[in-house]
């Protein structure tokens, strides 16, 4: 059954979900960056806020109806206090330091009848885990003694995959630091304040020192888990974190956290209602993700028909088919990014603009550049480098249109090289020559307003001459992730410099820079280039950068390609701006619904 087909006799919170499904499912945040190795994550913001709202309503007593016949929470707390006092008297537990009374200023809202405010330490104990003894280590081989780490704690439970274990000798040394299936865990270092329960198969296993266990009786376990997971509780834990080099939540501060306690019978009703509503959220989340996946597949299939068009007539026909549904296809940031990449692929394969047989062939242009470069070498203005191998037929990325040719970037540029790192005392935050790092390349442009750095002018001109950049140079990061972020040096400064993670291309004929920039943005070369380094930090060597093969159109066609790409990219940017405005509206609507409900 779909979320919007629930029974008509729903509760107010269920109505809040079903009547505003479009807002909850449309409020989406997306993070993305260009280049190989970039991450694209979707956050279903509206559904996340809805889950938070459900827990917040639960902790405030607004989720289920109160029943006057329920035993009040005050009596429950009195009974717990008597039991604790008896256990202290019998020596079974230690007497705790008295907790301060809850002041009126600490109570942020009025409680329903039958509820009571209490500090966690009034009805629970909090005990820490234990680090491994010195000289002992975890093992991967399964034993009878699992060691539960913070990294194992996922989504309110413990992930059984990838558990590490203790030997019997190690476990004997920390045998008292275990956690029960009846307890809850709370993370106290690294990730702060995450609450979860222990699967039955991990009952009695050892607990890391970066988490603590919450031990309690007479309180509904799932209610406490839900309530401690609410924003109301999380806010307290975050505020109580010690501001140390490695922030840590002290156990006594957990004990002092306050929580509204409902009657025990109502705790059970709250748990049932939260589970029911979270199941609705799960259903809505699955439907939203399925819809997004289907949309992504549709866009990919249709855009692939453009790239795979065999001729101009087929391309025009395929484009017409897509343009009819433009408003429904390109409605996400990812789909617009896909459209941008398709435009670039069409551009650099000769399918975006018409060829003109009257254009001077690219081979003539390449011959002229070769002569110019040879003359510059003869004059000593550039160094002669070790020649790169000729381009074989197998290396050509596609069948070239009439008038096109192929070349390596090194053949049409001055010496291709990367930057370098000056001594720390040569840097300045405000004056000198602008110095680029990888993070200064954003959205395929130079973003020097982000963490700008400058280097001493004299050092730049005497010691860093090899890596001086000029307006119009094309730069690319060669250390990732992500790899292959591209930009053209702007004319906001007459000279620039860069570090060794950036390579730059300065064409012999500067007029080629915009087409080189366009080709590199298409990222076709990344599919064929051999990377060095590890999977976590891939690198492109200088030699491989020099060796990049460029399919070269006639010069006049290059101008037409660049102009058309600029025109279409401007349209894509307009679409993105409109989408961003709409998404902001959806996010604000989701926040407004939450605020109104509370």
Q: Lowest mean pLDDT: which of 32-41, 137-146, 512-521?
A: 32-41
| pLDDT number for residue 43 | 80
pLDDT at 598 over 90: no
Tokens of 403: 């008038």
87 vs 163, more confident = 163
CB 185 within 8 A of CB 211: yes
pLDDT at 529 over 90: no
Q: What is the pTM of this model?
A: 0.70
In this prediction, what percent of the chain has a pLDDT beyond 90?
Answer: 60
Q: Long-range contact list for 167-170, CB < 8 A, 24+ apart? A: 167/136, 167/139, 167/143, 168/143, 168/144, 169/136, 170/132, 170/133, 170/136, 170/145
CB 45 within 8 A of CB 26: no
pLDDT in tens, 85-137: 998 899 888 888 889 999 999 999 999 999 999 999 999 999 999 999 999 99
pLDDT at 585 over 90: no
| pLDDT number for residue 534 | 59
Q: Which stretches within 91-162 are classed as H helix?
A: 120-123
Q: Lowest mean pLDDT: which of 39-53, 177-191, 288-302, 328-342?
A: 39-53
Confidence of residue 7 (pLDDT cuts 50, 70, 90): very low
Whole-number average pLDDT of the chain: 89
Integer Cα distance of 445 and 490 in angstroms: 9
pLDDT at 10 over 80: no
Across the range 273-292, mean pLDDT stands at: 91
Across the range 402-411, mean pLDDT stands at: 94
pLDDT in tens, 14-36: 777 777 777 777 777 765 445 55
pLDDT at 69 over 80: yes
pLDDT in tens, 322-352: 887 777 788 888 889 999 999 999 999 999 9
pLDDT in tens, 94-104: 888 889 999 99
pLDDT at 6 over 50: no
- Tokens 């789909």, residue? 335
CA distances from 117 to 57, 154, 176 (A): 16, 29, 32
Integer Cα distance of 38 and 54 in angstroms: 34
| pLDDT number for residue 204 | 96
Integer Cα distance of 337 and 333 in angstroms: 6
Q: Which stretches within 308-416 are classed as H helix?
A: 312-323, 326-329, 333-348, 362-378, 409-412
* Most confident of the following: 197-206, 280-289, 521-530: 197-206
Confidence of residue 493 (pLDDT cuts 50, 70, 90): very high
pLDDT at 37 over 60: no
308 vs 75, more confident = 75
In this prediction, what percent of the chain has a pLDDT beyond 70?
Answer: 94
CB 419 within 8 A of CB 440: no
CB 500 within 8 A of CB 539: no
Q: Lowest mean pLDDT: which of 122-131, 234-243, 353-362, 465-474?
A: 234-243
- Tokens 């509904």, residue? 220
| pLDDT number for residue 579 | 83
pLDDT at 183 over 70: yes
| pLDDT number for residue 30 | 64
pLDDT at 596 over 80: no
pLDDT in tens, 285-313: 998 888 888 888 888 888 998 888 877 77
| pLDDT number for residue 9 | 53
pLDDT in tens, 416-465: 889 888 998 898 888 899 999 999 999 899 999 988 999 999 999 889 98
């Amino acid at each position: 059954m779909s979320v919007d087909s629930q029974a008509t006799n729903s509760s107010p919170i269920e109505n809040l979900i079903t009547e505003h499904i479009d807002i909850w499912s449309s409020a989406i945040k997306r993070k993305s960056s260009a280049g190989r190795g970039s991450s694209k994550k979707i956050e279903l913001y509206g559904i996340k806020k809805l889950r938070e709202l459900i827990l917040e309503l639960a902790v405030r007593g607004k989720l289920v109806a109160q029943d006057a016949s329920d035993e009040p929470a005050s009596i429950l707390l009195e009974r717990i206090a008597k039991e604790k006092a008896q256990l202290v008297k019998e020596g079974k537990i230690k007497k705790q330091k008295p907790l301060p009374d809850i002041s009126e200023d600490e109570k942020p809202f009025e409680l329903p009848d039958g509820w009571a405010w209490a500090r966690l330490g009034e009805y629970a104990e909090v005990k820490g885990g234990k680090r491994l003894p010195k000289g002992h280590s975890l093992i991967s081989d399964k034993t009878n003694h699992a060691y539960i780490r913070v990294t194992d704690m996922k989504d309110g439970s413990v992930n059984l995959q990838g558990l590490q274990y203790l030997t019997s000798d190690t476990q004997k040394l920390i045998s008292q630091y275990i956690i029960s299936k009846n307890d809850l865990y709370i993370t106290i270092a690294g990730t702060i304040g995450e609450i979860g329960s222990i699967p039955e198969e991990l009952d009695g296993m050892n607990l890391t020192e970066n988490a603590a266990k919450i031990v309690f009786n007479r309180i509904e376990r799932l209610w406490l888990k839900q309530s401690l997971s609410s924003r109301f509780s999380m806010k307290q834990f975050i505020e109580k974190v010690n501001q140390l080099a490695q922030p840590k939540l002290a156990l006594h501060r957990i004990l002092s956290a306050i929580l509204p306690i409902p009657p025990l019978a109502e705790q059970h009703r709250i748990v049932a209602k939260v589970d029911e509503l979270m199941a609705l959220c799960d259903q809505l989340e699955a439907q939203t993700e399925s819809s997004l996946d289907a949309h992504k597949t549709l866009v990919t299939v249709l855009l692939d028909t453009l790239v795979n068009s065999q001729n101009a007539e087929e391309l025009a026909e395929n484009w017409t088919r897509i343009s009819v549904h433009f408003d429904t296809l390109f409605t996400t940031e990812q789909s617009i990014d896909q459209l941008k990449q398709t435009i670039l692929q069409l551009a650099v394969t000769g399918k975006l603009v018409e060829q003109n047989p009257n254009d001077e062939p690219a081979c003539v242009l390449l011959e002229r550049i070769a002569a110019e470069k040879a003359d510059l070498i003869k004059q000593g203005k550039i160094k002669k480098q070790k020649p790169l191998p000729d381009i074989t037929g197998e290396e050509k990325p596609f069948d070239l249109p009439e008038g096109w040719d192929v070349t390596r970037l090194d053949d049409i540029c001055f010496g291709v090289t990367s930057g370098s790192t000056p001594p720390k005392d040569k840097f300045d935050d405000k004056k000198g020559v602008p110095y680029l790092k990888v993070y200064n390349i954003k959205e395929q442009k130079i973003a020097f307003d982000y963490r700008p750095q400058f280097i001493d002018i004299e050092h730049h001109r005497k010691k860093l001459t090899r890596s001086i950049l000029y307006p119009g140079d094309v730069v690319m990061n060669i250390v990732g992730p992500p790899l292959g972020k591209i930009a053209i040096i702007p004319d906001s400064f007459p000279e620039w410099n860069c570090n060794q993670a950036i390579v730059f291309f300065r064409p012999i004929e500067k007029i080629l820079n915009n087409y080189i920039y366009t080709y590199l943005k298409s990222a076709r070369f990344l599919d064929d280039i051999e990377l060095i380094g590890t999977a976590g930090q891939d690198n492109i060597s200088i030699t491989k950068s020099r060796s990049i093969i460029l399919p070269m159109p006639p010069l006049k066609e290059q101008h037409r390609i660049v102009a058309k790409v600029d025109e279409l990219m401007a349209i894509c940017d307009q679409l993105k701006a409109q989408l961003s405005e709409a998404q902001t509206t959806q996010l604000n609507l989701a926040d407004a619904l939450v605020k109104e409900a509370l």
